[in-house]
């Protein structure tokens, strides 16, 4: 028998969207905020010679600059005021989450509900400013030592760069929070998504242009397109995959009434860690290469050998990349999901897993299941991220579009669509309630 919720979900269509005024307002606000972000990626940083920076960027676009340029929507390629994008905020959020595992005060603050969450958000903002200022200063020093990219190097250029880039990150952080509260979807994720998607038409055009000129074969272009579609379908399947643990609740008596025992499921995602492992792994591996490129000719021989072996497509790079992804998949899963806390919450509410004793045994069983599905999740992340790396290295694809980018695009799109459907479902429920009230009055 089909439930009312399933019937409503089946009837969601564009006519329902046209009637949902609040949802339309949220969508327009989100589009307007993303338009402001895109305009900011075209405002250049003061004191930069565009022609000189263009030449430098081309020589290093295959490293960490290419990856971060994809995330920033071309902001680094144009060295715009939003060049840092929202990445310092993401790094700060990850650091704060990691610190909750080693700091008892932060762990207690995490459990204090709304007030604790506000304080942790405030700490994240402060750390974002510190990280953004540090990274902006590093960019300023790197630009000065990278040739003739800076027209007037000196302390004034460094100070103005730090203020401008840090201010851009803080503005995007505020803009993302506004989208989350007044728009649709997660604002921070949508900003990253819009940056990645904005670079796709240019990358596709360049690939087709090289195909027209004969630099790329038609067969390779078709392979790239078919592989991209296949990887996206695979990501959708794996991101939806769950291992559901059956939870039973015993009979309970309220007053003179006896309520039957209920059952539900504890969903464990196959990929609990999300896109964090590829981001961390890419940053760690590509950072030495980028530093070496900025200091070409000034490194010892052993450092030059190491950076050469860590270049794209090298066996050492691929092995370390897979190893770091697997490590961070397990590490971050342990950070964001606590089996002991979950087992305690089930015990407090009277829930139990059939055949498993509540409490410590339940925590051990959840950890047992989670560890085994994380093996599959880590292998999935490694496979998705390894295929584009091999394609970029051995097939000479003329743009950077790694597995991390695909994961972000697919995951954020799925979450946003689910939220839109949730708003439409709630709107239709409200419409049904109003209709039933009107019929009751008429009677």
Query: How many structural domains does the chain have?
Result: 2
Highest-confidence range of 116-130, 304-318, 386-400, by mean pLDDT? 116-130
* 18 found inside a domain: no
User: Could you tell me the pLDDT band of residue 2, with boundaries at 50, 70 and 90?
Assistant: very low
Report long-range pairs for 98-104 (Cβ below 8 Å, ≥24 apart). 98/335, 100/335, 101/335
User: Could you tell me the pLDDT band of residue 312, with boundaries at 50, 70 and 90?
Assistant: low
Q: Which residues are CB-neighbours of 24 under 8 A, at least 6 positions away?
A: 17, 18
Residue 245 DSSP symbol: E
Among candidate residues 158, 187, 216, the one where a domain is terminated: 216
Same domain, 145 and 241: no
Q: 356 or 15: whose pLDDT is higher?
A: 356
* 138 found inside a domain: yes
Which of 141-150, 306-315, 332-341, 428-437 shows the lowest per-residue confidence on average (mean pLDDT)? Answer: 428-437
User: Could you tell me the pLDDT band of residue 32, with boundaries at 50, 70 and 90?
Assistant: very high
Same domain, 141 and 185: yes
Same domain, 205 and 243: no
pLDDT confidence of residue 64: 57
Locate 402 and state its tokens.
């790694």
* 55 found inside a domain: yes
Q: Report whether pLDDT(261) > 80.
A: no
Mean pLDDT of all residues in 63-75: 69
Question: In the beta sheet, which residues pair with residue 263?
Answer: 248
Same domain, 225 and 202: no
Locate the DSSP E strands across 203-261.
Answer: 242-249, 252-254, 257-259
Helix runs in 299-398, H state only: 301-309, 315-336, 339-348, 360-394
Same domain, 123 and 39: yes
Measured CA to CA, the distance from residue 132 to residue 175 in angstroms comes to 16
Highest-confidence range of 100-104, 354-358, 360-364, by mean pLDDT? 360-364
Share of the chain above pLDDT 90, in %: 13
Q: Is the dihedral of CA 375, 378, 409, 24 positive or negative?
A: positive
Which residue, among 272, 186, 232, has the nearest Cα to 403 in the 3D structure? 232
Q: What angle do CA 426, 427, 432 make, to 5 degrees?
A: 95
Q: Which residues are CB-neighbours of 93 under 8 A, at least 6 positions away?
A: 124
* 409 found inside a domain: no
Measured CA to CA, the distance from residue 400 to residue 291 in angstroms comes to 19
Q: What single string gives the DSSP state of each residue in 118-164? A: HHHHHHHHHHHHHHHHHHHHHHHHHHHTSSS-BSS-SHHHHHHHHHH
Query: What CATH number has the domain bearing residue 279?
Result: 1.10.3370.10
Same domain, 223 and 331: yes
Locate 337 and state its tokens.
């999901």
* 420 found inside a domain: no
Same domain, 278 and 262: yes
CB-based contact 191:172 (threshold 8 Å): yes
Angle between helices 114-144 and 155-182 (to 10 degrees): 150
Mean of the per-residue pLDDT values of the chain: 79
Q: 22 or 251: whose pLDDT is higher?
A: 22
Same domain, 63 and 184: yes
Please write the tens of the pLDDT for every residue from 194-235: 888 887 787 777 778 877 887 777 887 787 788 888 888 888
Among candidate residues 201, 216, 231, the one where a domain is terminated: 216
* 430 found inside a domain: no
* 424 found inside a domain: no
pLDDT confidence of residue 170: 94
Measured CA to CA, the distance from residue 414 to residue 432 in angstroms comes to 27
Structural domain of 260: 219-397
Among candidate residues 168, 185, 216, the one where a domain is terminated: 216
CA dihedral of 146, 150, 155, 158, whole degrees rounded to 10: -80
Q: Report whether pLDDT(6) > 50.
A: no
Same domain, 156 and 182: yes
Same domain, 233 and 346: yes
Same domain, 211 and 273: no
Cut 0.85: pTM above it: no
Angle between helices 21-40 and 403-442 (to 10 degrees): 160
pLDDT confidence of residue 440: 61
* 115 found inside a domain: yes
Which of 110-114, 130-134, 188-192, 262-266 shows the lowest per-residue confidence on average (mean pLDDT)? Answer: 110-114
Please write the tens of the pLDDT for every residue from 320-350: 888 989 988 998 888 788 888 888 888 887 8
Same domain, 310 and 203: no
């Amino acid at each position: 028998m089909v439930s009312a919720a399933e019937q409503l979900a089946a009837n969601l269509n564009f006519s329902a969207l046209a009637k949902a005024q609040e949802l339309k307002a949220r969508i327009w606000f989100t589009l307007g905020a993303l338009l402001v972000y895109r305009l900011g990626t075209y405002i250049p940083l003061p004191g930069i010679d565009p022609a000189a920076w263009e030449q430098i960027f081309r020589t290093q676009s295959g490293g960490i600059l290419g990856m971060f340029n994809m995330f920033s929507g071309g902001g680094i390629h144009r060295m715009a005021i939003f060049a840092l994008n929202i990445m310092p905020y993401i790094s700060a959020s990850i650091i704060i989450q990691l610190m909750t595992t080693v700091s008892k005060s932060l762990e207690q603050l995490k459990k204090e509900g709304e007030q604790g969450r506000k304080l942790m958000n405030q700490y994240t903002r402060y750390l974002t400013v510190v990280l953004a200022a540090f990274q902006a200063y590093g960019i300023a020093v790197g630009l000065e030592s990278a040739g003739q990219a800076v027209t007037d190097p000196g302390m004034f250029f460094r100070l103005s760069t730090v203020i401008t880039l840090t201010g851009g990150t803080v503005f995007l952080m505020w803009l993302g929070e506004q989208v989350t509260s007044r728009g649709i979807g997660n604002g921070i994720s949508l900003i990253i998504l819009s940056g990645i998607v904005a670079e796709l038409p240019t990358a596709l055009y360049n690939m087709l242009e090289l195909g027209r000129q004969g630099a790329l074969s038609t067969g390779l272009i078709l392979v790239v397109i078919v592989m991209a579609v296949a990887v996206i379908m695979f990501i959708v399947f794996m991101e939806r995959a769950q291992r559901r643990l059956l939870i039973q609740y015993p009979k309970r008596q309220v007053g003179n009434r006896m309520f039957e025992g209920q059952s539900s499921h504890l969903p464990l995602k196959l990929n609990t860690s999300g896109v964090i492992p590829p981001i961390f792994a890419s940053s760690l591996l590509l950072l030495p290469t980028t530093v070496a490129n900025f200091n070409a000719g000034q490194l010892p021989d052993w450092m030059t050998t190491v950076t050469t072996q860590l270049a794209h497509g090298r066996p050492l790079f691929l092995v370390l990349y897979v190893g770091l992804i697997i490590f961070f998949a397990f590490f971050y899963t342990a950070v964001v999901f606590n089996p002991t806390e979950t087992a305690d919450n089930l015990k407090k509410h009277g829930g139990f897993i059939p055949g498993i004793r509540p409490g410590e045994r339940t925590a051990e069983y959840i950890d047992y299941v989670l560890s085994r599905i994380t093996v599959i999740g880590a292998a999935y992340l490694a496979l998705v991220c390894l295929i584009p790396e091999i394609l970029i290295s051995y097939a000479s694809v003329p743009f950077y579009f790694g597995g991390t980018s695909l994961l972000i695009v697919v995951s954020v799109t799925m979450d946003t669509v689910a939220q839109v459907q949730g708003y439409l479902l709630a709107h239709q429920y409200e419409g049904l309630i109003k209709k039933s009230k009107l019929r009751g009055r008429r009677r």
